[in-house]
Amino acid sequence: VMAETGHEPVGSMGNDAALAVLSERPQLLYNYFKQLFAQVTNPPIDPIREELVMSLTTYIGNQGNILEESREDHKLIKLQRPILTDEDLRRLSTLKGGAFSAVTLPLGWKNSLEDGLAELEKSAVENVRAGNNILILSDRELPEGEMPIPALLAVASVNGVLRDKGLRPPVGVIIQSGEIREVMHYALLLDRATAINPYLALETISRQATEGKIAVDPARAAENYINAVDKGLLKVMSKMGIATLRSNRARSEEHTSELQSRLQLV
């Protein structure tokens, strides 16, 4: 439906599916999270009628302190939307040296998921200190015998270790994963990730269009899907009264810091 019409499927109000924590079947990590809704301080926004004040624009690079005068040249990469096609990601991945330098970190583990996360965090810190400011976390074409680290867990781990080391603000964290397909998956990942390349979803849509299972050409089908995701993200943000993706990240970081403080007090 998203690839054909460019809109999310329309469903009934409410979700009567069993909580993931109580399910006896394997669940994706995304299913353990639920969205909060604005109740008092931030009124919800109508993402359709107030489209002009809402934005999914995001940036890679150090924006500097807007309250200080500085001669330092702060260079940024501006992304009109956080969803990247394979070609978009290819262009970013070829950046080497200069103001921006990209490196791809594989999201694979063999013997232990915990060890795999520790190795990923170590590699992320080492690469950023070596001068790379675009980290592409990818589970594409992993070596035989390796399992993919869940994308949400990988992004949260890398974001956390870079933040703790004081390296996070100027670094762009891009996730390339085959498990991402629903709007909620994107919304959760973009709390920490800079951009997302859902390569398997795009490949599947293109193949279905080529085989005639979708009544549009492959390029239009992929564009429709991305547009549907964009609209879904705006809808998710609007429920919390948030107008821009950058504000959504700021709100998420505040919530994380508050939660960590409460856990330390306990």
How confident is the model at residue 44, as a pLDDT?
Answer: 76
How confident is the model at residue 262, as a pLDDT?
Answer: 41
Task: DSSP letter for 22, please.
Answer: G
How confident is the model at residue 12, as a pLDDT?
Answer: 62
pTM comes to 0.86
Distances (CA, A) of 235 to 198, 228, 230: 20, 11, 9
CA 242 to chain centroid: 17
How confident is the model at residue 104, as a pLDDT?
Answer: 95
Question: To the nearest 10°, the Cα dihedral for 194, 139, 201, 185?
Answer: -50
How confident is the model at residue 257, as a pLDDT?
Answer: 47
C-alpha 116/C-alpha 104 separation (Å) is 15
How confident is the model at residue 254, as a pLDDT?
Answer: 47
What are the start-end ranges of the H helices in 19-177?
86-93, 113-129, 151-164
* Residues of the chain with confidence (pLDDT) below 70: 11-15, 38-42, 63-66, 70-73, 250-266
How confident is the model at residue 26, as a pLDDT?
Answer: 85
How confident is the model at residue 127, as a pLDDT?
Answer: 95
How confident is the model at residue 265, as a pLDDT?
Answer: 41
